[in-house]
């Protein structure tokens, strides 16, 4: 093989030699995979018994089918992206990149939800012996529940390989729940000199862009404190973090990382300096079996005696509720996830009868927190607090910043900022007003994609949400979780790294 500009050229030289050198690592990898399978079989058979081994053998191929489908779907995008980039067609590259990110997220959500809902029918369809059906279904549901983690792991691994091949990377957050993987990706980006942009889209929104601009031009003097609140929404939390894919930290990541690494990134950006110390408190307080009202069924559609007065009733949320009820005209997320595609009443009822989204919120296997607070100090003296709570009506973010000469209050749902300079009349800044001085900022997703494609087109490397800043937000989130697990112990980030 010949090397040109650090790349392996597979179109020059002896075809047999090229094919052999290319296939040997693949063959070796398959041998190791088979060794793993043999050991796995031996452990299951000896430790769990014959029934467990039979259940694994009956349905394990579904795991490989699902993984193969996801891998094939996502790898197919690389062909189109490579063609657009190689041809210098940056306009179509932007469109392809946006579609690839959107379709990959939808594919993962649909396959995960669909596999959970179809586990029981598939086991029956395969004529699995009745005595091992419960074990087979439990194995499949546990296996498929881990798809988001598998996706996240392969996401980071694929990014590292892509950097080695000379690609620029647009990376969904969180980067990884493993701080070591985050560091390796950061080191690889520095080593290769390639651009890695993380999808912390909040920096690209008019709301936070305006906040940052007001601070930098000194509208409230020197910044002293930040108080931020993430209102998760009672129905959103029940869907995603009690019944849904992100309910367990051992299968995905802690709540503070999965839901709120956006917020850690924003707080560091607004503070304008690195975080020095962090402290956190919080717990899973409400969504627990001991809080189930008397008469609560395991599933909402199993004749639950508490349905009329339960705000978390699955039929209310997905069919009648004001936030995502299908009968209220809500045909998008989260109903598409529950139904495994375009929702209908029949699909939703079928999913709620057998799938994870029909379970009672007090009888799920969730373990992530339902409320958490974080206290932070930054190198420039700024102090910040952050609260994440499930117990709100709407999904939104609010913030208050105080400085030596004034304060700013913001509500992202209303898209307004209230600027109060001490001794002066307060000023309301509507970010929906086309005449506002802050009008014209790119929206979150669109602004992110636009900047990423512009960096590729111009050869730039400096990004608003580059890998360096984004890893810092992950360090903060994971340090906060470590503090919470230690009963609120103060964590010094220099030691935690």
CATH number at residue 377: 3.30.360.10
pLDDT of 378 above 70: yes
In a domain, 486, yes or no: yes
Query: What confidence score (pLDDT) does residue 101 get?
Result: 61
Buried b (16+ CB within 10 A) or exposed e, 250-275: ebbbbbbbbbbbbbbbbbbbbbeeeb
Query: What confidence score (pLDDT) does residue 439 get?
Result: 44
pLDDT of 104 above 50: yes
**Using CA atoms, how far apart are residues 184 and 194, in angstroms rounded to an integer?**
14
In a domain, 394, yes or no: yes
Please tell me the total count of domains within the chain.
3
- Cis peptide bond upstream of 458, omega within 30: no
Q: What does the block give as tokens for 373?
A: 């607070």
In a domain, 389, yes or no: yes
3-state secondary structure of 428: strand
Do residues 116 and 144 lie in contact, with contact meaning Cβ atoms separated by under 8 Å? yes
**Using CA atoms, how far apart are residues 338 and 344, in angstroms rounded to an integer?**
10
What are the tens digits of pLDDT across the range 29-80? 778 767 766 777 787 777 777 777 787 777 776 777 777 776 666 666 666 6
Tell if the pTM clears 0.75, that is, is over it. Answer: no
**Using CA atoms, how far apart are residues 107 and 68, in angstroms rounded to an integer?**
13
For 164, what's the count of Cα atoms within 13 Å in the CB-facing half-sphere?
Answer: 9
Q: How confident is the model at residue 6 (pLDDT cuts 50, 70, 90)?
A: very low
Q: How confident is the model at residue 92 (pLDDT cuts 50, 70, 90)?
A: low
435/482 same-domain check? yes
Segment (H or E) for 462: none
For 104, what's the count of Cα atoms within 13 Å in the CB-facing half-sphere?
Answer: 21
Query: What confidence score (pLDDT) does residue 71 get?
Result: 66
Name the domain boundary from 114, 145, 176.
Answer: 145
In a domain, 3, yes or no: no
Name the domain boundary from 350, 381, 396.
Answer: 350
- Cis peptide bond upstream of 174, omega within 30: yes
264/302 same-domain check? no
Over residues 102-108, the mean pLDDT reads 67
283/413 same-domain check? yes
Say which residues have a Cβ less than 8 Å from residue 223's Cβ, sequence separation at least 6: 215, 270, 271, 272, 382, 401, 402, 403
Q: Express the helix, strand and coil content of the chain in percent, nearest 5 each.
A: 55, 15, 30
3-state secondary structure of 278: strand
| Unique residue bearing structure tokens 């209908």 | 344
What are the tens digits of pLDDT across the range 218-265? 999 999 999 999 999 999 999 999 999 999 998 889 999 999 999 999
pLDDT of 359 above 80: yes
Q: What are phi and psi of 349, to 5 degrees?
A: -60, -40
**115-129, 227-241, 456-470 — which one is most confidently predicted on average?**
227-241
What are the tens digits of pLDDT across the range 385-414? 999 999 999 999 999 999 999 999 999 999
Domain that holds residue 314: 290-350
Lowest mean pLDDT among 206-210, 278-282, 443-447: 443-447
436/477 same-domain check? yes
């Amino acid at each position: 093989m010949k090397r040109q500009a650090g790349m392996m050229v597979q179109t020059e030289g002896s075809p047999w030699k090229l094919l052999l050198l290319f296939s040997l690592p693949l063959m070796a990898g398959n041998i190791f995979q088979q060794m793993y399978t043999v050991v796995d079989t031996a452990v299951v058979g000896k430790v769990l018994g014959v029934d467990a081994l039979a259940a694994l053998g009956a349905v394990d191929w579904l795991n490989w089918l699902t993984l193969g489908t996801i891998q094939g779907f996502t790898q197919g995008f690389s062909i189109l992206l490579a063609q657009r980039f190689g041809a210098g067609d940056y306009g179509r590259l932007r469109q392809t990149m946006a579609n690839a990110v959107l379709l990959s997220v939808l594919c993962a959500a649909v396959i995960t939800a669909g596999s959970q809902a179809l586990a029981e029918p598939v086991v029956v369809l395969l004529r699995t012996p009745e005595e091992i059906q419960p074990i087979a279904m439990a194995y499949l549901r546990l296996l498929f529940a881990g798809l988001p983690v598998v996706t996240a792991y392969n996401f980071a691994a694929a990014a590292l390989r892509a950097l080695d091949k000379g690609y620029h990377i647009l990376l969904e957050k969180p980067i990884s729940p493993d701080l070591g993987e985050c560091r390796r990706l950061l080191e690889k980006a520095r080593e290769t000199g390639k651009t890695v942009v993380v999808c912390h889209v909040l920096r690209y929104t008019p709301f936070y862009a305006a906040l940052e601009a007001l601070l930098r031009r000194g509208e409230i003097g020197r910044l002293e404190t930040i108080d931020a609140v993430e209102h998760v929404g009672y129905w959103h939390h029940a869907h995603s973090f009690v019944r849904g894919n992100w309910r367990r930290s051992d299968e995905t990541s802690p709540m503070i990382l999965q839901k709120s690494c956006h917020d850690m990134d924003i707080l560091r950006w607004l503070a304008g300096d690195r975080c020095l110390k962090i402290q956190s408190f919080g717990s899973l307080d409400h969504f627990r079996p001991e809080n189930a009202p008397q008469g609560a069924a395991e599933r909402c559609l199993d004749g639950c005696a508490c349905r009329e007065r339960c705000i978390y009733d699955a039929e209310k949320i997905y069919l009648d509720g004001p936030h995502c009820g299908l009968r209220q005209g809500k045909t998008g997320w989260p109903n598409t996830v529950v139904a495994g595609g375009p929702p209908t009443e029949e699909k939703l009822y079928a999913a709620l009868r057998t799938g994870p989204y029909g379970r009672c919120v007090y009888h799920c296997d969730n373990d992530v927190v339902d409320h958490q607070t974080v206290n932070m100090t930054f190198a420039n003296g700024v102090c910040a607090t952050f609260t994440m709570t499930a117990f709100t009506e709407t999904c939104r973010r609010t913030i208050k910043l105080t400085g030596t000469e004034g304060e700013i209050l913001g509500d992202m749902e209303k898209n307004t900022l209230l600027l109060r300079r001490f001794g002066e009349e307060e000023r309301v800044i509507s970010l929906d007003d086309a005449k506002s001085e802050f009008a014209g900022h790119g929206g979150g997703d669109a602004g992110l994609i636009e900047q990423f494609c512009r960096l590729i087109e111009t050869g730039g490397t400096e990004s608003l949400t580059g890998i360096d800043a984004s890893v810092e937000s992950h360090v903060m989130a994971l340090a906060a979780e470590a503090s919470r697990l230690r009963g609120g112990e103060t964590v010094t980030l220099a030691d935690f790294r």
